[in-house]
Structure 1
Amino acid sequence: MNKRIEVCLTPALLHLYDISNSIVVVIDVLRATSSIVYGIDNGATAIIPVAHVEDCLAYSGKGFLLAAERDGSVVEGYDFGNSPFSYTKEKVGGKTIVLTTTNGTKALHMARETAHQVVIGSFLNLQSLCDWLKVQDKSVLLLCAGWKDQFNLEDTLFAGAVVAELRKDFTHFDDSSVAAEDLYQLARNDLRTYIRKSSHSYRLALLNIEEDVRFCLQLNICKAIPVLSGDALVALELNP
């Protein structure tokens, strides 16, 4: 099989791709997918992504942790948002979290409609994710969540990091993959400085969450690969 790797730079372009036989990697590195990876790695039983804040309320009072973020801030009345520091072993071990975010959960819901399989990527599980993708007999679409359907820099950089790692194992790359990899090669020696150029970096600076940003740019501190199973993200069972 000629496995292809493609990068969808924003969910607004997803309809242009045939993903019925592809593994879709949803990417929202600042901060949703980083927090999802960290939470599953820290023993969360499952994370249920929902599209709307109101959808979280259906799970209220049933033993779930409720997490809601809009425009970078925790929605009032919810347990937490999408800061990775809310997803520690002490807070999420053995728990199920219901999560909605501005961009990441929207991209997830769009992907699940037609994708063969949906998994979650971040710099935190980059190597583990790439090692697994290499041995799958499927093409890969790297879906950047972007910012409200617009292109963003940080998700594209991560997509480029995946392309750089998988280049030898796939036969076809689209132009957005080439561009993403070129951007990553420019930025790889100092991701934080490069991402300071991004519009989202300015938004996050206003929220005073520099620690979150730095945390999300760490490489390979997690092994877990969250995979969508039914309505929930759970840990993919990796062969030893």
Structure 2
Amino acid sequence: MTAPGQVSVETCVTPALLPLYDVKNSIVVVIDIFRATSSICYGIDNGASAIIPVAQVEECAAYHGTECLLAAERDGEVVEGFDFGNSPFSYTPEKVAGKTVVLTTTNGTQAIHLSRQAKRIVIGSFLNLSTLSHWLLGQGENVLLVCAGWKNKFNLEDSVFAGAVARRLTGAGFQPDDSSIAAMDLFDLAKDDLGAYLQKTSHSERLKKLGIEKDIEFCLNVDITTSIPVLEGEKLVKL
């Protein structure tokens, strides 16, 4: 445990910058608001026994013939031949309770894979914001907020969420880096109406073109789950 008063909260705005951070000495929070980490939080809260994040479609396909549900998404769409993608509406109790889901996505599962050297990896979304922030406050460890972004580029929605977490931690004595300060400023601009602020994002536009605006709206619900998915070995399970 890091000494009191010395804990930091840092924000990595794209996985491409992860080599610049001290991942091994941090609790990493992986963030992919539209839609992977929102769906993971929802699925675990709805009773999925585990979600196995894999980086490649081929790794997911290797589980064909098992009892696992297979979820694969690329560029916002379900990959042909898989059970579903990363829409939160695919992670209802009726579909996932008691099941293991193998998941690969364009951005979120890549960020998890690249963060594997962390002290611990947990999953964040607006859905579990308060539960996650409260837990982080009690750990006394450096926190690294890893934004999945879009294909290694910055995106707005992940950074706004990082700002929401950083705002809570900074208020309790964590020392923010400049990226966290910028993220907090973005969150302050967005917090009164997340939907209005984030409707202009590029990924929001991609999802709208696919006719799945309801996914965007759902992923901006705040505090509707109380579970924190944590990576244990190869599986994300309920903390």
Q: TM-score of the superposition, structure 2-length normalised? A: 0.97
Shift of the alpha carbon at 1:199? 1.1
Match among 224, 228, 232 for residue 229 of structure 1:
232
What is the total number of aligned residue pairs between the two structures? 235
Q: List per-residue Cα deviations over 1:59-111 (Å, max 9, x = no partner).
A: 11110000000000000110000000000000000000000000000000000
Question: Structure 1 vs Structure 2: percent identity of aligned residues?
Answer: 63
Q: Which amino acid aligns with 1:204?
A: L
Match among 113, 125, 128 for residue 125 of structure 1:
128
Tell me what 1:95 maps to: 99
Match of 1:223, SS? Answer: coil
Shift of the alpha carbon at 1:204? 1.0
From the superposition, tell whether residues 78 and 167 of structure 1 become closer, same or farther in structure 2 (CA, over 3 Å). same
Q: Which amino acid aligns with 1:223?
A: T
Match of 2:24, SS? Answer: coil
Match of 1:189, SS? Answer: coil
Match of 1:29, SS? Answer: coil
Tell me what 1:153 maps to: 156
Distance, in Å, in 1 between the alignment partners of 2:17 and 2:171 is 26
Shift of the alpha carbon at 1:170? 3.2
Matched, 1:108 2:112: yes
Q: List per-residue Cα deviations over 1:197-240 (Å, max 9, x = no partner).
A: 2111111111111110000000000000000000000000xxxx
Q: List per-residue Cα deviations over 1:172-205 (Å, max 9, x = no partner).
A: 2111000000000001011111112211111111
Question: 1:5, 1:170 within 8 Å by CA — same for their partners in 2?
Answer: no
- For structure 1, the 5+ residue unaligned runs are none
Distance, in Å, in 2 between the alignment partners of 1:171 and 1:147 is 28
Match among 43, 50, 54 for residue 50 of structure 1:
54
Distance, in Å, in 2 between the alignment partners of 1:122 and 1:200 is 16
Matched, 1:30 2:18: no
- 4+ aligned runs moved over 2 Å, structure 1: 168-171
Tell me what 2:84 maps to: 80
Shift of the alpha carbon at 1:171? 3.5
Shift of the alpha carbon at 1:38? 0.2
Match of 2:193, SS? Answer: helix
Distance, in Å, in 2 between the alignment partners of 1:178 and 1:210 is 30
Question: 1:228, 1:234 within 8 Å by CA — same for their partners in 2?
Answer: yes
Q: Which amino acid aligns with 1:8?
A: C
Tell me what 2:193 maps to: 190
Q: TM-score of the superposition, structure 1-length normalised? A: 0.97
CA RMSD of aligned residues (A): 0.7
Match of 1:142, SS? Answer: strand
Distance, in Å, in 1 between the alignment partners of 2:216 and 2:201 is 12
Tell me what 2:8 maps to: 4
Distance, in Å, in 2 between the alignment partners of 1:216 and 1:201 is 11
Match among 215, 219, 223 for residue 218 of structure 2:
215
Matched, 1:62 2:62: no
Match of 1:62, SS? Answer: coil
Q: Which amino acid aligns with 1:90?
A: E
Match of 2:27, SS? Answer: strand
